Amino acid sequence: MRSVNEHINQSAQSEQNYNFAYLDEQTKRMIRRAILKGIAIPGYQVAFQGREMPMPYGWGTGGIMLSASILGPKDCFKVIDQGADDTTNAVSIRQFFEKVCDIEVTQKTANASVIQTRHRIPEHSLVEGQILVFQVPIPEPLRFIEPRETRTKKMHAYSDYGSMQVKLYEDIVQYGHIATSYAYPVIVHGRYLMDPSPIPKFDNPKLHMSPALLVFGAGREKRIYCIPPYTDVKSLDFEDHPFSIQQWDQACAQCGSHDSFLDEVLIDDQGGRMFVCSDTDFCQQRQGNSND
């Protein structure tokens, strides 16, 4: 415990500027401890003392707190939203970290040591040593089956996940397909049911045996969870209805890719549309353009 005078001196010094990465060092340590616990128990939601950030809850505060806690002066940081570096909120978050950390930023997936993302996993394979930080709105995969935290906690404790299988089964009965196209539930390391955040199920296979560390932050709900490198991640399915990912008949209109996630863009008011890669860096690289 520091003396009152030490605190007052320190706060007088730091008054000119915010601490590196905005959060104070004690808060960062608290968050890093939660991350370590999350790594030790893959897929388990660790409660932590969330902080109010200068962006609204629901706009990536969980991811921002995680990034703020793990970024160091030598890191190279990339931020994407919907796969793109130039979407308004990705721009805003990147500018925030440029302001409070003065670190190197990049749009190239391969150059980044830490990537914060909303709703996508980059197409370019991640490698060992990289950290992917996910922004999570609702961390609890069972929330829309059971709204009460006190009950879902028990369901996780007992691995009581039958109700999720029943929900997927009901989809098949009603629609002929599993009707979950994003935030598709997974089982991590054969134990915890986990919401991979609202990434399209197209990205779920990239979670399995990922060489990069995957960390998930839910700021408003104050939960952190992790998938350590090379962890088994299985998307829920049935033997006769195996898990499958989205496919398009078209290729990307800009780079011709056949195996990336495509966004549909309306080009006129007569129903004309085209398809382009949602991952802007991937698309630019394929077109031979350099981003940085």
Sheet holding 186-188, edge to edge: 192-194, 186-188, 233-235
Which residue in the set 22, 44, 77, 96 belongs to the binding site for other proteins (CB under 8 A)? 22
Secondary structure (DSSP) of 263-284: EEEE-STTS-EEEEES-HHHHH
Rg of the Cα trace of the chain?
A: 20
Tokens of 61: 């505060």
Q: Which of 38, 32, 22 is nearest to 93 (CA)?
A: 22
Catalytic residue among 43, 50, 62, 63: 43
Contact string (CB under 8 A) for other proteins, positions 80-119, x = contact: -xxxx-xxxxxxx--x----------------------xx
Contact 193, 107 (CB under 8 A): no
Active-site annotation holds for 101: no
Phi (first) and psi of residue 175, to 5 degrees: -115, -15
- Quick check: 56 binds other proteins (CB under 8 A)? yes
Active-site annotation holds for 252: yes
Which residue in the set 28, 38, 42, 59 belongs to the binding site for other proteins (CB under 8 A)? 59
What minimum distance in Å lies between the beta carbon of 265 and other proteins?
Answer: 6
What minimum distance in Å lies between the beta carbon of 53 and other proteins?
Answer: 6
- Quick check: 139 binds other proteins (CB under 8 A)? no
- Quick check: 281 binds other proteins (CB under 8 A)? no
82 or 165, CB closer to other proteins? 82
Question: What is the rounded (10 degree) CA torsion for 188, 193, 198, 203?
Answer: 30
Q: Binders of other proteins among 189-228, rule CB under 8 A?
A: 198-202, 220-222
- Quick check: 57 binds other proteins (CB under 8 A)? yes
